[in-house]
Chains A and B, each alone.
Chain A
């Protein structure tokens, strides 16, 4: 079936920004909380407050199961991956510390680091290859006595390039500093196990491949690290109300203020969907769609594709350019003429675009998701062909 943009029929290829559609259970869970529960979790002892608390605990528990976390209370909820990364970076790093990162990072990592640089933190940005791969040996070579943290994205939101997280984690653990992973693109899309990958801090978005609503995300903090990790915000937590000092334990230390209970109800349903389908099955489907798209692009004239050539080395975000058409023109045409929704430009990741040689022009990015299908890919390839021929 071809979409009719005039009837607001679309093909949604912007899952790397936020996923759509969501599983039916997500909306139901949010309706149920809103209509039937509605209490403030952890604040009162009445049944609706407790039921709200139970919903949030359940969401923590299914996330812990997904990421191989022993104690679900090691996860603090945030409004997105950006807030989680800010808590980790601004909380851990102090003047005189050294931090290592890659040249493929999103601005949610680069901007806090550039701020910290003005506060006396030393930064090493390790260069990646032209298709976005980080060589663990280059990270090893960047380690100094003052190195406190390695922060790396699990996969790039520009090229989908998957980094060797477990290998990096074990290098970091051997040297005794901390490892923070930006899993915005991979939580729910690739298997993640915090112990096997030696991850100390895991930041994730709830609204991408975990199928929660916007306004959800979180940070896993390995046991003991909270002692040295300053919270970004302080305030009411429901616990220790008689004290004016912020609680020093997980997760309350990082969860001040009334939480996004309705959003976390939806996130819980999204994660249960991921567990029921299976991350491996989700990955197989997304890899298959990506492979089909990459093969199709390779047969078209006037197209440049960025990132690793094989679908196995990447998640389902594909950046490309059409000769003679700017990314923003192309995305407007794709939307208006074909109903194909994607994202052009720099994708909040200027460092990554410099690495792949597309700064400041940018690229067209298609972000596939579990609910896309092969017919949509074929239709999109035809649309791209007609834009390339017309250029």
Chain B
């Protein structure tokens, strides 16, 4: 079986997601804001999608600067 190519970071609010986006942009980490997939949460917000291989790097970049709620493999 192939490993899932993406991981998503879920945040308490869009403000948090946008702050995370800004941090990743500044650090040059490839990412995309997408609507939260229905099977992950019924919330209507957005989440941050990154390559699975980058998830450790992303967690490190966000640590202490913006809180996230969960990280889920797609």
CB of A180, distance to nearest CB on chain B (Å): 23
Verify A247–B15 contact, CB threshold 8 A: no
Partner of A42, one of B14, B22, B33: B14
**Which B residues from 38 to 73 make CB contacts under 8 A with A?**
41-46, 65-67
Count of chain A to chain B residue pairs whose CB atoms are closer than 8 Å in the complex? 68
List chain A residues, Cβ under 8 A from B36. Answer: 45
Verify A249–B14 contact, CB threshold 8 A: no
List chain A residues, Cβ under 8 A from B18. Answer: 50, 53-54, 57
Considering only CB atoms, which chain B residue lies closest to A45 in the complex?
A: B35
Partner of B14, one of A41, A60, A71, A242: A41
- Decide yes or no whether A62 CB sits under 8 A from chain B: no
List chain B residues, Cβ under 8 A from A53. Answer: 14-15, 18
Known: A53-B18, A72-B19, A73-B66. A239 touches B46 (CB 8 A): no
Verify B13–A237 contact, CB threshold 8 A: yes
- Decide yes or no whether A14 CB sits under 8 A from chain B: no
Q: Mark A32-46, 1 if CB is under 8 A from B, else 0.
A: 000000000111110
List chain B residues, Cβ under 8 A from A57. Answer: 15, 18-19, 22
CB of B15, distance to nearest CB on chain A (Å): 6
- Decide yes or no whether A68 CB sits under 8 A from chain B: no
CB of B14, distance to nearest CB on chain A (Å): 4
**Which A residues from 15 to 67 make CB contacts under 8 A with B?**
41-45, 50, 53-54, 56-57, 60-61
List chain A residues, Cβ under 8 A from B65. Answer: 71
Known: A45-B46, A238-B45. A247 touches B33 (CB 8 A): no
CB of A236, distance to nearest CB on chain B (Å): 11
Verify B13–A238 contact, CB threshold 8 A: yes
**Which B residues from 8 to 31 make CB contacts under 8 A with A?**
12-16, 18-19, 21-22
Expressed in whole angstroms, the Cα–Cα distance for A48 and B67 within the complex equals 24
Considering only CB atoms, which chain A residue lies closest to B16 in the complex?
A: A73
Verify B45–A239 contact, CB threshold 8 A: yes
- Decide yes or no whether B34 CB sits under 8 A from chain A: yes
List chain B residues, Cβ under 8 A from A41. Answer: 14
Considering only CB atoms, which chain A residue lies closest to B65 in the complex?
A: A71
List chain A residues, Cβ under 8 A from B22. Answer: 54, 57, 61
CB of A238, distance to nearest CB on chain B (Å): 6
Q: How many residues of B contact A (CB 8 A)?
A: 22
CB of B31, distance to nearest CB on chain A (Å): 13
Q: How many residues of A contact B (CB 8 A)?
A: 25
Verify A50–B33 contact, CB threshold 8 A: yes
**Which A residues from 166 to 210 make CB contacts under 8 A with B?**
none
CB of A331, distance to nearest CB on chain B (Å): 43
List chain A residues, Cβ under 8 A from B19. Answer: 57, 72-73
CB of B34, distance to nearest CB on chain A (Å): 7
- Decide yes or no whether A304 CB sits under 8 A from chain B: no
CB of B55, distance to nearest CB on chain A (Å): 21
List chain B residues, Cβ under 8 A from A252. Answer: 12-13, 15
Verify B43–A42 contact, CB threshold 8 A: no
List chain B residues, Cβ under 8 A from A239. Answer: 12-14, 43, 45
Expressed in whole angstroms, the Cα–Cα distance for A61 and B46 within the complex equals 20
List chain B residues, Cβ under 8 A from A73. Answer: 15-16, 19, 66
Verify A56–B44 contact, CB threshold 8 A: no
Expressed in whole angstroms, the Cα–Cα distance for A305 and B41 within the complex equals 63
Known: A71-B65, A73-B66. A42 touches B13 (CB 8 A): yes
List chain A residues, Cβ under 8 A from B41. Answer: 242
Expressed in whole angstroms, the Cα–Cα distance for A42 and B65 within the complex equals 19
Partner of B43, one of A50, A72, A242, A251: A242
Can you offer 10 A-B residue contacts whose CB atoms are under 8 A?
A: A42-B45, A54-B22, A57-B19, A73-B19, A238-B14, A238-B44, A240-B13, A249-B67, A251-B15, A252-B12
Contacts A50-B33, A57-B19, A241-B45 aside, 9 further interface pairs with beta carbons under 8 A come to A50-B18, A60-B15, A61-B22, A73-B66, A238-B14, A238-B44, A239-B43, A241-B43, A252-B12
Closest 7 CB pairs of A and B: A239-B13, A45-B35, A42-B14, A45-B46, A57-B18, A242-B42, A241-B44
